[in-house]
Amino acid sequence: MGNWIHSANIYHIYSLNFCGAEKFRKDFDGTKGRILKILDWIPHIKETNFNAVLFAPVFESTEHGYDTADFLKIDARLGSNEDFKTVADALHKEGIKIILDGVFNHVGRDFFAFTDLREKGQASEYKDWFAGVNFGGRSPFGDNFSYEGWSGHYNLVKLNLYNDAVVNHIFAAVKMWVEKWGIDGIRFDAADCLTDDFIKRFRRFAKSSFGEDFWLMGEIIHGNYARWANPEMFDSVTNYQCHKGIYSSHNDKNYFEIAHNIEQQRSQYGNSLYLYNFVDNHDVQRIATALRDYSHIKNVYTMLYTFYGVPSVYYGSEFGIKGAKGQGADADLAIRPNLDIENIPDRDDELAAHIAKLGDIRKRLPVIQTGFYDKVYLNNRTLVYKRELSGTVAYVAFNIDENDYTFSIKSTTEYWVDCLTGTRYKSFNGEVKIELPVNSSGIYVEEHVYRNAFGNEIIEAEEAAIEEASEDMSVEITPQLESEPTVRKSDIIPLGVKNNRRVNVGGKYHHFKGNDYRVLAVARDHETTEEQVVYIALYDSFEIWVRPMQNFLEEVDDHGNIKQRFAEIE
């Protein structure tokens, strides 16, 4: 598998509709160079930190691109081969890889070999190019022979991939794509319908001809992904399992679903399969439509960019545009719009900025690209997992609860940083506590990892802002405890003073595990001067206990629920 894919952020474009092409090639009005529209989008693609573009079919077809008429020619509704070369050169100049959609299971009825078969019948030299040809019957289109259509669609004529002439024709076409446009990979449409023999032959041909970095990805909806993605076949396949898991776990406020999906895949495939992850595409409704609560959309994309595999964003969805899949002949129009970069309807630029930041993080942090996955905390509405690679750890957290969520990380370093915001969190007593607001997510690494990846600009700006704010303050803030450091805006509030809590001498407290106690006194340790709480059990033993003030007042994680260790009850 190509190493470039590990740091890739893919932008998926449905070429014909994106460029405003007519629905049918027969209605083409002669407009030239529509594919050059991509040139206007390259600055946006680059600014949003996409470094690969997947083009849905660009070749001559009768209607929607998946009914190929000519593998060697760009669809006239899009432009010429030279126009596409201009686009390819411009993308490559900006360091953006190109992936083309290869439709090799079937072709359209206007494909030159099928046209010859229709005209000449049994005399056609191409009669063996197609599956199930039988001159003893008639097709639904009235041909003097029957044939196999893909999934019952007879406008999509199934190729005979056991015929060497068919395979050689496809190989020659792909060779032209690489030589003329320098493409870097192929998506295989309807990959589960291709023969194993063809896939294996294609892999041997591609890797030997174009190098091991040439990426092969198959469209697979169901089943064991390792059946198709393995060292003899594809490098990757479409991850429809997690596509569904991501949006439905947010809709149902049930992170157990997506956590189970991810863990099942890690258990089944380990790190051997680098799956193609997405939250929408040209065949399904837009994620902004699929979500019941739009406020979850940033969490959705944080998840897409941070679990194992390569993320892909469908054009326009970075702006939060909506689109529901319909019924009938125009079912896909709403999810395949013609977009003008300067006039995106109801555009959410804040979401686009969030996705751009995620793309930057992923490109800079190898631990997010290929680190091993492990779940840390999980309940219905909160999830924390970590990625780990060669001693570097990144924690990724999500909260869709009605309340802020607090979790802790064991720490041997002074500061951790949220890569999404640059906010620093200070460790106390070997632990850093992080409070995650409602409907938000974070990506946390040790400060030295952050500085190595992003430099000091954000942290230095934060420190300057804090210094400026402190100079403007007319009231001096005095720490509550002599042993506490001054609390800064960028620090997590230390244990023991969360929400300015203090111990009430004589107060009755309930321990989170079930027993009640009464505080007798607050004392100081003779050696350290640390404040200690003295309290008595209000059950049979009536034992007297002592524990540090900070420990008495801190919050704990009780199986995913954040609670006060001792909550005052009277």
What pLDDT, in 10s, does the model give residues 78-120? Answer: 999 999 999 999 999 999 999 999 999 999 999 999 999 999 9
Closest CA to 237 of 317, 336, 310, 302: 310
How sure is the predictor about 552, in pLDDT bands with cuts at 50, 70 and 90?
confident
Beta bridge pairs of residue 396: 385, 443
CATH code (residue 376)? 2.60.40.1180
Q: What is the pLDDT of residue 277?
A: 98
- Write down which residue in 118, 140, 160 finishes a domain: 160
- pLDDT at position 314 over 70: yes
Q: Where are the alpha helices (DSSP H) in 125-195?
A: 164-181
Does the residue 411 lie in any domain? yes
Q: Structure pTM? A: 0.82
Residues 383 and 467 in one domain: yes
- As for how many domains the chain has, the answer is 3
How sure is the predictor about 489, in pLDDT bands with cuts at 50, 70 and 90?
very low
Q: What own/partner pairs with CB < 8 Å and gap ≥ 24 does 533-538 have?
A: 533/503, 535/509, 538/508
- pLDDT at position 268 over 80: yes
DSSP string covering 50-73: --EEEEP--EEESSSSSSEEEEEE
- Write down which residue in 143, 160, 177 finishes a domain: 160
Span of 16-25, 163-172, 506-515 with lowest mean pLDDT:
506-515
- pLDDT at position 482 over 50: no
3-state secondary structure (DSSP) of residue 244:
helix
Does the residue 83 lie in any domain? no
Q: What is the pLDDT of residue 492?
A: 32
Q: What percent of the chain has pLDDT over 90?
A: 79
Residues 390 and 463 in one domain: yes
CATH code (residue 514)? 2.30.30.320
Question: Rounded to an integer, what distance in angstroms lies between the CA atom of residue 53 and that of residue 382?
Answer: 33
- For 437-466, the pLDDT digits (tens) are 999 999 999 999 999 999 876 665 555 554
Does the residue 18 lie in any domain? no
Closest CA to 276 of 300, 320, 308: 308
Average pLDDT of the residues in 189-199: 98
pLDDT top residue among 50 and 272: 50
Q: What is the pLDDT of residue 496?
A: 32
Residues 384 and 459 in one domain: yes
Does the residue 462 lie in any domain? yes
Cα distances (angstroms) measured from residue 73 to each of 25, 80, 147, 187, 362? 13, 7, 25, 18, 35
Residues 451 and 388 in one domain: yes
Q: What percent of the chain has pLDDT over 70?
A: 92
Q: What is the pLDDT of residue 495?
A: 31
Q: What is the pLDDT of residue 364?
A: 97
- For 374, residues 6+ apart whose C-beta sits below 8 A from its C-beta are 385, 386, 388
Residues 440 and 503 in one domain: no
Q: What is the pLDDT of residue 47?
A: 98
Q: Beta strand 431-436 with 405-410: parallel, antiparallel or unpaired?
A: antiparallel
Does the residue 76 lie in any domain? no
Q: What is the pLDDT of residue 563?
A: 83
Does the residue 19 lie in any domain? no
- Write down which residue in 160, 178, 203 finishes a domain: 160
**Residue-range definition of the domain harbouring residue 465:** 372-472
Question: For the chain, what is the mean pLDDT?
Answer: 91
